[in-house]
Amino acid sequence: MEDAEGTVPARLRALPSRLVNQVATAANRLVDRALAGAGARRYHFALLAALEEFGPASQAALGRRTGIDRSDIVATVNELVARGFVERSPDPGDRRRNIVTVTPEGVRHLQELDRLLAGVQDELLASLSADERDRLVALLTRVLASPPG
């Protein structure tokens, strides 16, 4: 990730924003590789996680919960339906809207993705102790909870 030999200027190495970006880039590469090995993408994981945690939802609600654009939600739901991981059915209260539900196979797939992503976290944070990992998560959560501007 970071240049250990000091060939990066000190002023760059000291910028938290650059460090966060460098770690995010490495993390994204690891996550994408792990998910691809399971025939999945980040959007698959996000939708399955939201459905498993919050229950059946409209595609619009899934978009709001996950931050995924509406057109990407439709494409991702289509992919997950084709693989038997979710079911889509008309909303009885509003037939213009679809309700998406995770299937038992989708829950099993999500559990496999959880396992893979836990391995990614271990690889990414191998140089940190368990306490340091917990502290890092707490600090990053705090930074995200009060964004600038």
Tell me the C-alpha distance between 1 and 22, whole Å.
7
Query: What is the arithmetic mean of pLDDT over 94-118?
Result: 95
86, two tokens: 């979710």
Assign 4 a pLDDT band (cuts: 50, 70, 90). Answer: low
β-pairing verdict for 57-58 and 94-102: antiparallel
Q: Does the structure show a pLDDT above 70 at 124? A: yes
Where helices occur in the chain by DSSP H, the ranges are 10-13, 16-37, 42-54, 59-66, 70-82, 104-124, 130-145
Q: Assess if residue 145 is contained within a domain.
A: no
Q: How many domains does the chain have?
A: 1
The domain in which residue 67 lies consists of: 10-140
Q: Assess if residue 33 is contained within a domain.
A: yes
Per-residue pLDDT reduced to its tens digit, 74-89: 999 999 999 999 999 9
Q: Assess if residue 146 is contained within a domain.
A: no
CATH number of the structural domain spanning residue 21: 1.10.10.10
